[in-house]
Chains A and B, each alone.
Chain A
């Protein structure tokens, strides 16, 4: 069974690739990062990092993917293997499958929330709810024991339905993915533009007795007012680099996989630029014009300053839409959560393709078998993210397994893989060959300076971001930490640094300091769940390593000189 699929059209490929990059972070993470990192001035380090790290990584991944595709490889283990003979590269390539399995497990859960919220918006569930009622509704939704619709285990049902939809589309192969992108991306942009126009035209019309100073323009001003002094703060630069890294979905193996289906003489340079800048359009233009202005228009700037963050999408936006009247609120809710759903599904579909590519290439599995096996594995890995949580005092939910997956698979693994692939491409495969590969069939001329940026600047930047998260100082305050270090006061790691997280230091400290017996027991249980989640991740990684080894043996027996 040969895996000789190819993209049906160039626009389809670019929309699929842009859809892979555009995710919930474009609408929720970017505005929160901008607000807390210098407002309008944040765009300077952000665009600098896009030019020096984002574009180079896109070029590396697109050209590596197409290069591997020439030899019939559609997943990172053997794409990396085709670039250098040493055996360990294929095991580093395991990250490009493992990450997608683990991230899809919790990402599909978030996607299922958006699906469920589209339903609730249209069904009028949020009508006449207060702001706190909407927040409580979200907590109740995550608490699977509490039904919000009368349906038992509603969160589980929507999760399974979402996973089935993803798997079904994947079973249709690239055609299915392309069709989903061709429907999803234009709708996402259309919904985004409609909501952005509302955000721009809201002004002070929504001020109320409770929030007399509410003004959408004040929100926009707060987001975009440049605070140039922030540019001297290393934290702002690290956060900008982190935002660029996560928004482009690089370091996952999905770009390689999609690019591996590009025919050998077709362009990758223009495609990479086009998909990358489309992601920037959605993030910078649409992402900044929806959540912050609309929330500031109803709740005022002070509320934004205290509450801006990821939770606003589900805990606040339905309440704000409610103020537009029953018909418009249903319509706006459908557009907002529909937009997030399309952003989510175009990304989660991309996560399924590396596994499919690997199993089809190496074990001759059919499109359907590889898709349904992906769905089954994601279900087994993902169901603990739905069912393992703790209800905190006050009703909010601590999603233990979900957070562990996000941290180790969705954050740390990406940096490790991106750094490894950059070194492989620029220093092992060789920049001369790499540059030739980027420019082969190119429909645009990439400035030659990128040859040197890819070789020297991008690996240094990646290393800086990686070391930055490994040794994150107390309260992420680099200025104080560096001056403290030079004055001989040493370096205090923050509990969110990778090293401290590896040893679960934060949780252990809390257990040691807990005085209440019930709270101590809860924390000790959390420690056990954390260990289980990590074991599960490790088992998946080792399992994929084993499959790569089996595939290697199979190749060797078929072709002893390989």
Chain B
């Protein structure tokens, strides 16, 4: 495998895997807010 291809794979996969993991962990760690059952006036 050429160095250029290897570098592209490493950079791309690092960006995608780390960003996906970051957001997913943030979702798991953030609790849901308390409910508000009010229905607003339309328009």
Interface residues of chain A, those whose CB is within 8 Å of chain B, are 10-11, 14, 39-41, 43, 47, 70-72, 82, 85, 217-218, 220-221, 224-226, 263-267, 270-271, 273-274, 277-278, 280-281, 284-285, 441, 443-444, 562
Task: Evaluate contact between B17 and A281: CB separation under 8 angstroms.
Answer: yes
B19 and A82: CB pair below 8 A? no
Q: Is the CB of B33 within 8 A of A265?
A: yes
Per-residue CB contact flags for chain B residues 1-42 toward chain A (1 = under 8 Å, else 0) read 110111011001101110110011011101011111011101
B43 and A278 contact, CB distance less than 8 A: no
CB<8 Å pairs between A and B, sample of 26:
A10-B32, A14-B27, A40-B5, A40-B8, A47-B15, A70-B40, A72-B39, A85-B43, A221-B5, A224-B9, A225-B2, A225-B8, A226-B8, A264-B36, A264-B38, A265-B34, A265-B35, A265-B36, A270-B27, A271-B27, A273-B23, A281-B20, A284-B12, A284-B13, A441-B33, A443-B30
- The 6 nearest A-B residue pairs measured at CB: A40-B8, A274-B23, A277-B20, A281-B20, A224-B5, A225-B5
Residue of A40, A218, A221, A274 near B24 (CB, 8 A) is A274
Known A82-B42, A85-B43, A281-B17; judge A267-B4 contact (CB<8 A).
Answer: no
| Total number of residue pairs linking A and B with CB closer than 8 Å | 96
A72 and chain B: residue at smallest CB distance: B39
The smallest C-beta distance from A544 to any residue of chain B, in angstroms, reads 22
Report B-chain residues with C-beta under 8 Å of the C-beta of A441.
33
Contact A285 B33 (CB under 8 A): no
Inter-chain contacts of B33 with A (CB < 8 A): 265-267, 441
Q: Contacts A221-B5, A224-B5 known; A285 to B16 CB distance under 8 Å?
A: yes
Known: A40-B5, A43-B12, A285-B13. A277 touches B19 (CB 8 A): yes
Query: Which residue of the partner chain, among B4, B32, B39, contacts A40 with CB atoms under 8 Å?
Result: B4
Return the chain A residue nearest B25 by Cβ: A274
CB-CB < 8 A to A82: which residues of B? 42-43
Please give, as numbers and ranges, the residues of chain B lying within 8 Å of A444 by CB-CB distance. 23, 26
Closest residue of chain A to B28 (Cβ to Cβ) is A11
Task: State how many angstroms separate the Cβ of B14 from the closest Cβ of chain A.
Answer: 10
Q: Which residues of A contact B20 (CB under 8 A)?
A: 274, 277-278, 280-281
Q: Which of the listed residues B4, B28, B30 has the most CB atoms from chain A within 10 Å of its own CB?
A: B4
Give chain B residues whose Cβ lies under 8 Å from the Cβ of A562.
42
Residues of A within 8 Å of B23, CB to CB, are 270, 273-274, 277-278, 444
Cβ–Cβ contact A71 & B30, under 8 A: no
Other contacts beyond A71-B39, A278-B20: 16, CB < 8 A: A40-B5, A41-B8, A70-B39, A71-B42, A82-B42, A220-B5, A224-B6, A226-B5, A277-B23, A281-B20, A284-B12, A285-B13, A443-B27, A444-B23, A444-B26, A562-B42
Q: Are B36 and A263 in contact (CB under 8 A)?
A: yes
Residues of B contacting A224 with CB < 8 Å? 5-6, 8-9, 12
How many Å lie between the Cα of A39 and that of B26 in the bound state? 32
Q: Is the CB of B1 within 8 A of A221?
A: yes
How distant is the Cα of A41 from the Cα of B11 in the complex, in angstroms?
A: 12
Asked whether B42 lies within 8 Å of A10 as measured between CB atoms, the reply is no
Q: Using Cβ atoms and an 8 Å threshold, which residues of chain B touch A71?
A: 39-40, 42
Residues of B within 8 A of A70 (CB): 39-40
**B13 → chain A, closest Cβ, in Å?**
6
The distance in angstroms between the C-alpha atoms of A284 and B12, with both chains bound, is 8
* Distance of A114 Cα from B20 Cα, bound (Å): 27
A80 to B38, CA, bound (A): 21
B6 surroundings in chain A (CB, below 8 A): 224
- Closest beta carbon of chain B to A304's beta carbon, Å: 15
| A266 and B35 alpha carbons, distance in the complex (Å) | 8
Closest B residue to A4 using CB positions: B37
> In angstroms, how far is the closest chain A Cβ from the Cβ of B15?
8
CB distance from B31 to the nearest CB of A (A): 9
Give min CB distance, A130 to chain B, whole Å.
31
